Structure 1
Amino acid sequence: MKVLSLTCQNYRNLQKACLQPESGVNVLWGENAQGKTNLLEALWLFTGGHSFRGAKDSELVLHGASGTRLELAFFSEEREQTAALQIEGGRRHAFLNEVPLRSSNGLVGHFCAVIFSPEHIALVREGPANRRNFLDAALCQLKPGYVRLLNRYQRLLAQRNALLKDIPRHPELTETLPVWDVRLVQDGLQIVSQRQAYLERLTTAAARIYSGLSHGKEQLSLDYQCSAEDLAAALLENRERDIRQGFTSAGPHRDDMEILLDSAAARTYGSQGQKRSIVLALKLAEAQVLEEITGEKPVVLLDDVLSELDGGRQDYLLNHLSDCQVFITCCVPQQACGLHGGGLYQVKNGCVRPERPQTA
């Protein structure tokens, strides 16, 4: 999968910008607030998802403009294709090969990408929800059926929790809990099974990539941790406590992915640079597993990835990922000078132009 060109009109500060990248590694360099991350965000929207920065669609339009339009030419499924996104009045309209789609969800599976941004350090540093979301988001790109399964489980969970809150006032409702438990267990076990199978593939790739980033000096391992080995038994055993607390205490919504570096918990003992490297390894491994399953290499988007990495890890990212198309942003021009091939683009005042930064 390759981006052939991206055109942005009135998108954030990109009033009129056009990027025609190389097929390997592309570095977008420039000072802060010039539009580098906006370009990555624009590419990410073509996966069918929302902004990875949590922005509403209405916030993506250049201030004072009535709307924005993004146009993408890309190579996928052995042919050149086009896609377009238009946002007007806070509503998004999507087109694939000039055919209007019912929603931007119709782009899912046609253009695939993996995104890293500094906020993703929370994957290692903060609580289990971040790691569950990482696994679920990766599976949603791979399997449309997983999206439906996850949504159904979340609805069942919300309904069971509402029932738990009602039972103290209406004890007779306790008799209906087994009905919800059966359905929750059925979907919950499917979620856990698919997460574990995915994590097994991800672990192999992530460990190999992290070894490359650290030049073999550190070893990364991942382990899926279930909140209950036997979910049906746990729901029954915890029933009285769940009623008192008003929420379901066991299930895939309480599971975690343990991240270990040389057998020690990375969340507790990893340095900032090591945590950044771990997330990078996970994201690049996600791209590799996506390719193994779909046959397409996803586009890799790495925002502000070079800071807090030593020279060896920077070199690995700049010069050892040429088998797929990569977009890397950086603020320090000298970091971009380490790129031996690929494309170098200066982003300034919302404009993009091919330019190699001056060396000191």
Structure 2
Amino acid sequence: MAFEHYRNLCAGSLTPCPGMNVIYGRNAQGKTNLLEAVWLFTGGRSFRGARDGELVAFGQEKAALHLQFYSEEREQEAELTIQNGRRSASLNGVPKRSPAELVGKFRAVLFSPEHLSLIKSGPALRRNFIDAALCQVKPAYAPLLSRYHHTLVQRNALLKDIPRHAELLDTLEIWDDRLARYGDAVARERAAYIQKIEAPARELYAGISENKEQFGIQYQKSAENLREALAAARRDDLQSGHTTVGPHRDDLEVTVDGVSARAYGSQGQQRSLVLALKLAEADVLEQEGGEAPVILLDDVMSELDAGRQHYLLNRLDGRQVFLTCCEPGAVKRLEEGALFEVRRGELYVPTSGAGHGD
């Protein structure tokens, strides 16, 4: 990958190995900027919530990124240009109408510190985790989810109007039928996906925890039969003015040794659980799509003990991984792979160590 005028990065390039690539250095040197640049080739926006214009180096008119990668059984090249607050993209020399057209061409799974909220925070983030993963694995899921949310908005608007216009009550049946049809389908897809990632996540967590702890996960529906549940909740819905049951109220229960990770898990356990889920997501994406996604692990080593750090650095076989860290001791635990140091936006390849001669 080559980069020019991207954030604080000095113009240069990154030539990774096919396995573990550790990008280390002190805070605020540019490590996460490298991972962010790679992530943009998935067709998504900055995982840090930055606007496109903020990605261009201070005082420069535009930034340019270039990536060579293997996908769909051939070598491919993608380019991204960021200018005037907008991104433009091309694939194999052909301009794209939008960077979103890169979706599905270059695949990656990301862990960043913000993902810790997956365990700590409320159910909305856990639902978003499932939905985002499903949209990659099964493209037809995205329009289904959109139809459900659109119908939900319409039903909620009707619930607010009925107290002022009683004649609208008879139309609620139509929206109940439609919401139940889409909602039951959404819940089925989510539950099936959780079943797919359960086994690989359990195995990965066992490795990370050195078989000392047991991972558990369960999709929790707010209603088994949504049509019946909507009928039973109609009075409450009319009083509150919104729909109180459905996939938008479902949750994901994650446990360690049978107890709630959200309520009782330590920082290290919660980080390890999210890692297991994200790595399992990569496994399922490979099974369904036939190609292994690149794994991006940002600031992943914090609050992990030496055993868990060693597993991440040396036991993620068969995957191309980019991992950033600050801890000098963690770098020494790398047995095989490539090392890159970032200092004030400049990328250095150490003259000795695991990454030399990869």
The yes-or-no answer on 1:212 pairing with 2:229 is no
Structure 2 residue identity aligned to 1:125:
K
Distance of 1:340 and 1:235 partners within structure 2: 56
Deviation at 1:138, TM superposition (A): 0.4
What do residues 280-315 of structure 1 show as CA deviations (whole Å, max 9, x unaligned)?
A: 000111011111111111100000101111111101
Deviation at 1:223, TM superposition (A): 0.5
Aligned to 1:305: 300
Structure 1 residue identity aligned to 2:334:
L
Distance of 2:352 and 2:275 partners within structure 1: 25
1:345, 1:356 within 8 Å by CA — same for their partners in 2? no
Q: Which moved more, 1:69-78 or 1:294-303?
A: 69-78
Aligned to 1:184: 179
Q: TM-score, normalised by structure 2?
A: 0.96
2:297, 2:324 within 8 Å by CA — same for their partners in 1? yes
Aligned to 1:162: 157
Distance of 2:168 and 2:4 partners within structure 1: 56
Distance of 2:135 and 2:295 partners within structure 1: 17
Distance of 1:17 and 1:73 partners within structure 2: 14
The yes-or-no answer on 1:265 pairing with 2:260 is yes
2:341, 2:350 within 8 Å by CA — same for their partners in 1? yes
1:35, 1:350 within 8 Å by CA — same for their partners in 2? yes
Decide which of 281, 289, 295 is 1:286's aligned counterpart: 281
Deviation at 1:14, TM superposition (A): 1.7
Residue 12 of structure 1 aligns to a residue whose secondary structure is coil
Distance of 1:57 and 1:245 partners within structure 2: 40
Structure 1 residue identity aligned to 2:242:
F
Structure 2 residue identity aligned to 1:122:
S
The yes-or-no answer on 1:52 pairing with 2:52 is no
Structure 2 residue identity aligned to 1:34:
Q
Aligned to 1:322: 317
Aligned to 1:133: 128
Structure 2 residue identity aligned to 1:257:
L
What do residues 254-285 of structure 1 show as CA deviations (whole Å, max 9, x unaligned)?
A: 10111011110110111000000000000111
Aligned to 1:124: 119
Unpaired runs of 5+ residues, structure 2, are 354-358
Structure 1 runs (4+) greater than 4 angstroms displaced: none
Deviation at 1:356, TM superposition (A): 6.3
2:299, 2:323 within 8 Å by CA — same for their partners in 1? yes
Structure 2 residue identity aligned to 1:70:
L
2:184, 2:225 within 8 Å by CA — same for their partners in 1? no
Aligned to 2:16: 21
Distance of 1:348 and 1:322 partners within structure 2: 29
Aligned to 1:351: 346
Structure 1 residue identity aligned to 2:208:
L
Deviation at 1:94, TM superposition (A): 1.4
Aligned to 2:143: 148
Structure 2 residue identity aligned to 1:169:
R
Alignment root-mean-square deviation, CA:
1.5
Deviation at 1:142, TM superposition (A): 1.1
